[in-house]
Amino acid sequence: MDKDLVKLIRKSYNMNQRDFAKAVNCSFSLIALIEVGKRRVTKDLENKIKVAFNLDRPILTTSVDDFFEKTS
């Protein structure tokens, strides 16, 4: 999962970074740092996002570009 996919998921739920962080039980600053590319998404955070938003594994392992390429 990359930073763009995190942001896409967050925005698709119309959430700000603070609400998204609460939903996945992590700090707001971690989400902010991920979205600007200063931190990477850990497997633990990826799993928390998957559970919080009931997403399946194939979506989480693709990049945003790959996701849109596969769906068009």
- What does the pLDDT look like over 3-52, one tens digit per residue? 999 999 999 999 999 999 999 999 999 999 999 999 999 999 999 999 99
Task: Read off the pLDDT of residues 41-57 as tens digits, 9 standing for 90 and up.
Answer: 999 999 999 999 988 76
Give the pLDDT confidence score for residue 1 in this predicted structure.
87
Q: Quick check: 71 pLDDT over 60?
A: no
Q: What is the pLDDT of residue 67?
A: 58
Res 56: pLDDT? 75
DSSP, residue by residue, 3-65: HHHHHHHHHHTT--HHHHHHHHTS-HHHHHHHHTTSSPPPHHHHHHHHHHTT--HHHHTS-HH
Any idea where the domains of the chain sit in the sequence? 3-71
CATH class of segment(s) 3-71: mainly alpha
